[in-house]
A and B are shown apart, each in its own frame.
Chain A
Amino acid sequence: MRQRNLKHIKTPKILTNVLSISGISKHYGKIHAVNDLSLEVQPGQVFGILGPNGSGKTTTLSIVLELVRADSGTFQWFGEHPGKESRKRIGSVIESPNFFPYLTAALNLKIVADIKEMDYDDIDRVLKVTGLYERRNTRFRTFSFGMKQRLAVASALLGNPEVLILDEPTNGLDPQGIAHIREIILQVASQGTTIIIASHLLDEVQKVCSHVAVLNKGTKLFDGKVSEVLSVSDCFELSASDPVALEKWLHTHTDIESVEKKNGIFQAFFKARITPADINNGCFRDGITLTHLSERKRSLEQHFLELLEEKNDQTP
């Protein structure tokens, strides 16, 4: 009885994860497409799943959208067991745009609306947002690739879903098309819609995402805020009037990762978040006068490649 009553108590939305994946694995023969993956996506996040081709991004999305069954592990949408009702609250574009080529854009969207059990009022709006309104009565077959991709986005936007899932949304588009899609994503994100984007483009994740999970060979290497990923392992360039003392000071620092010396300038990498002020104060206290101090943030790309390399070193 008690459990039944609990169901009716609405938990505040902010507390429930939009998507939580725990320990899902999927293998095709000997290849581990997804390996013990756990993720949490919270409301309002623009969550990037970043990884090279074949890292398990699409497989992960196919699993949470119930196209593919995981070998093990579970996932929940909106804190509930997944099912067709939760899928109706999600707008998704997976891989290529999938529509009937012999039906018009509007008719294809009507089919989507019927499946999602919503009325057709929103169709004109999403066609306008994606710039396809004038072509609504043209058959899908006649569309250019960019238009097909935009129709896929339009169908995903239908009925203002709580979550938008986009798999490589700008793949194969020209720069203008990429800009258009990104503009739409940012506009939707600004309304508070949770967005999950799978991409192999760092630049894309950097530009639109608030959070990121990095995948390689089906394994999660890292996840967190994009801004944190950017500033973790900061690199500083320093020099001092007494280089020997500075080198000693750097090596004894508790958070130091590595120190390199190039043309009399030290490049110091730190494991934890360190500010230039921390270094300046520390050196000053130990009687070292810095003659040069500059912070160099490593880009996500560098960080990404390093993460991939580290992982590759570990595997024989």
Chain B
Amino acid sequence: MIRLLKIEFKKIMTYKVFWILIGLYFLFLILGILMAEFMINSIVNDMNRHLPIPIPHVTIYFFPWIWQNITYFATFRYVLIFPAIIIIILITNEFTYRTIRQNVINGLNKSEILISKLLLIVLISLVITVLLFFGILVLGFSHTANPDAGMIFDKISFIPGFFFTMLTFLIFAFFFGFLIRNTGLSIALFTLYVFIVEPIVYYFLKSPLVFKNGISTYLPVNSILRITEYPAIPVLKQIMGVNLQDSVTAGSCLIALLYAALMVGIVWWIMAKKDL
């Protein structure tokens, strides 16, 4: 395992495209997080112009709700797409440059090739999660007066929730990369599916004419993004009357993981059958 990861590291260490995309991802992530409160408050200002009783300004960066809020904004499709594209590029490069054939010739098994990419996905998800964890800690401390341990870690379940979202979303990208094998086409089809195809299917299934039950929420990307479904914003609570999401549920993680397992299974089966 260590050997497989060592090989993967050599492939990305001096690969400029990888570092540029990683940089862009963190730029979008940090900007998104820091601008979220400002954006919400500008909407609140707009609403207040027409309301007799003004809604108070929103603050989202205080413990313990910060965990829920930040992981919610950090799992927007527009942000998640960056690491997904990185994974697709790293996988399809192996086909473009035929290095996957050379790796097999030199002594790797097809299963080892799949495992090394999965290990890389786990590691990338883990590193991003850890960085986000520390980022939230810093941000939370600077926005919370007199926090105590119980308060800080009350909503910590959103951190593993974020990890599972990232992991399963990247496995979805892994699925596209290994199935399509062509860089441009995989990225195009993946983006098309995530931003256009599934939302259309989602709203179609959601319309009362089709199904009354919540089948629309079981679409793959929707299942993945539903792990961190709602932010904990006071105004939302006031409007909806209830707290929409208290914690990350094991059930939502399980559904996403089942999708991931299915995708890995399909890729495994096709790779075993197909010649390189």
User: Which residues of A does B touch, CB under 8 Å?
Assistant: 62, 65-69, 84-85, 87-88, 90, 92, 94-96, 98-104, 107, 110-112, 114-117, 155
Contact = CB atoms under 8 A, between A and B. Distances in A.
B106 A99 contact: no
A65 B15 contact: no
Interface of B: 3, 6-7, 10-11, 13-17, 93, 97-99, 101-109, 112, 275-276
B14 A104 contact: yes
B3 A114 contact: yes
B32 to A, nearest CB: 29
A65 B14 contact: no
Contacts of A68: 275-276
A88 B106 contact: yes
A67 B104 contact: yes
Given A90-B105, A92-B106, A94-B105, 8 more contacts: A68-B275, A85-B107, A87-B104, A88-B107, A98-B101, A98-B102, A101-B97, A107-B14
A115 B275 contact: no
A111 B109 CA distance: 15
A85 B108 CA distance: 9
Given A87-B105, A114-B10, A98 B99 contact: yes
A92 B101 CA distance: 11
Given A88-B106, A88-B107, A67 B10 contact: no
Given A98-B101, A98-B102, A115 B11 contact: no
Given A67-B276, A103-B15, A115 B10 contact: no
Contact of A111 (B7, B112, B275): B7
A154 to B, nearest CB: 13
A94 B93 CA distance: 18
Given A67-B275, A107-B10, A110-B10, A115 B108 contact: yes
B11 A67 contact: no
A114 B6 contact: yes
Given A103-B14, A114-B10, A115-B108, A69 B275 contact: yes
Contacts of B106: 87-88, 92, 112, 115-116, 155
Contacts of B112: 84
B103 A103 contact: no
Contacts of B17: 102
B104 A99 contact: no
Nearest to B98: A98
B99 A100 contact: yes
A94 B101 contact: yes
A16 B74 CA distance: 61
A115 B101 CA distance: 13
B214 to A, nearest CB: 44
Contacts of A62: 275
Nearest to A67: B276
Contacts of A114: 3, 6-7, 10
Nearest to A61: B105
B7 A65 contact: no
B6 A102 contact: no
Nearest to B15: A102
Contacts of B93: 100
A98 B109 contact: no
Contacts of A99: 97, 99, 102
B167 to A, nearest CB: 25
B14 A67 contact: no
B16 A84 contact: no
Contacts of B109: 84
Nearest to B11: A100
Nearest to A92: B105
17 contacts: A65-B105, A69-B275, A87-B107, A90-B105, A94-B101, A94-B102, A95-B98, A98-B98, A100-B97, A102-B17, A103-B10, A103-B11, A111-B10, A111-B11, A114-B7, A117-B107, A155-B106
Contacts of B11: 100, 103, 111
Contacts of B103: 115
Contacts of A103: 10-11, 14-15
A65 to B, nearest CB: 5
B270 to A, nearest CB: 14
A100 B112 CA distance: 19
A95 B116 CA distance: 25
Of A85, A95, A115, which is in contact with the most chain B CB atoms at under 10 Å from its CB? A115
A84 B107 contact: yes
Nearest to B94: A100
Nearest to B275: A68
Contacts of B97: 98-101
A96 B97 CA distance: 10
Contacts of A88: 106-107
A251 B276 CA distance: 55
A108 to B, nearest CB: 9
A94 B102 CA distance: 8
A100 B95 CA distance: 11
A98 B93 CA distance: 11
Contacts of B98: 95-96, 98
User: Which of B15, B16, B101 counts the most A-chain CB atoms under 10 A from its CB?
Assistant: B101
B194 to A, nearest CB: 27
B64 to A, nearest CB: 44
A98 B6 CA distance: 19
A160 to B, nearest CB: 15
A115 B107 contact: yes
